[in-house]
Amino acid sequence: MNKLNEQRIFMSIFHLANRMQVEGDKLSDELTLKQWFFLYLLYQGGIENPTLKDIAQMMGVTRQSAKKMTTILEREGYLTISKSEQDSRALCIQPTAKAKAFFKRNKQLGGKLLVRAFENIDEQELIDTLVVLEKVQSNLSEEE
C-alpha cells in the first residue's frame, strides 16, 4: 500500500466534501445543501414515516446532528415532528406543504450541481470511484 496515496485520497475526500457544501449552499437562498439533502431524503429515502434515526443513518450523521437540523427545519416550517405510533421514544418526521412547494419550485436544484461535478468523467471512472468509496465506507462502518 502506498501511504502517500492513501493520505492524498483521505485529504481529497475532506476537501471535496467541503467544496461540494460551499457550491451546494450557493444553489438556494432558502436552504443549505445539508438541509436540502435532509428534506430530499424524506421524499426519496423509500421509508414510510421515517424517524429521526432513519434520516440520520441515511445521511451518515449522528442522531444529535440530525436532531439539530430537524429543529431548524421545523422552526422554518419545512417539516413536522411527531412521536411514532409504534415506538413512543422515536420521532417521526414529515415534510410540510412548504417543503413540497420548495421541491416543486426547485426540481432541478441538485441536478445542476451533479452535472457540473461529474462532467468529463466517463462511466467506468464513476464505477471505479464508487467501488473504492463503498469499500472505504464499509471499512469505517465495521467498527461501529
pLDDT digits (tens, 9 = 90+) for 68-125: 999 999 999 999 988 878 887 888 899 999 998 998 888 777 787 888 899 999 999 9
pLDDT bin (cut points 50, 70, 90) of residue 49 is confident
Q: Helix axis angle, 33-44 relative to 63-75, nearest 10°?
A: 90
Q: Is 95 helix (H, G, I), strand (E, B) or coil?
A: strand
Cell matching residue 96: 410540510
- Please state the pTM of the whole predicted model: 0.79
Task: List the domain boundaries for the chain.
Answer: 29-105
Q: So what CATH class is 29-105? A: mainly alpha
Q: Residue 96's pLDDT is what?
A: 92
